[in-house]
Amino acid sequence: MSTDIQTIRKIAHLARLEFNEEKEQEMLQDLNKILNWVDQLRELNTESVEPLIHMSEEVNVMREDQAQNTVTHDEALKNAPRKDSDYFRVPKVLE
């Protein structure tokens, strides 16, 4: 499987990327290498291979989540660049 320069340009447009012609050619070569590698993987017989759920048999031992207030409301507002009584003031995002 391989791709062409028009596909690279379409992907770049969708990803909002800009490449010069030299970089387009590099991207085309890299993408074709990746697609060829995926084609090689498709040739492997994986019928008897069980899906991998975890990378190892080790289990993470984590503490239980406990909700706690580490910073009080007043302490948080002390560092606010702009505040209005009990609230942070932020620039308007929506009209």
| Domains (range + CATH), the chain | 5-42 (1.10.20)
Query: Would you place residue 29 in the very low, low, confident or very high pLDDT band (cuts 50, 70, 90)?
Result: very high
Mean pLDDT of the chain: 87
Q: Whole-angstrom Cα distance, residue 14 to residue 28?
A: 16
Query: Is-contact 19 12, C-beta < 8 A?
Result: yes
Beta bridge partners of 83: 88
- Using one digit for the tens of pLDDT, what is the confidence trace for 46-77? 888 888 877 777 777 788 888 887 888 888 88
> What interhelical angle do 5-14 and 21-42 show, nearest 10?
100
Give the number of other CB atoms < 10 A from CB of residue 19.
Answer: 14
pTM of the model: 0.50
Q: With contact defined as beta carbons under 8 Å apart, do 27 and 7 qualify?
A: no
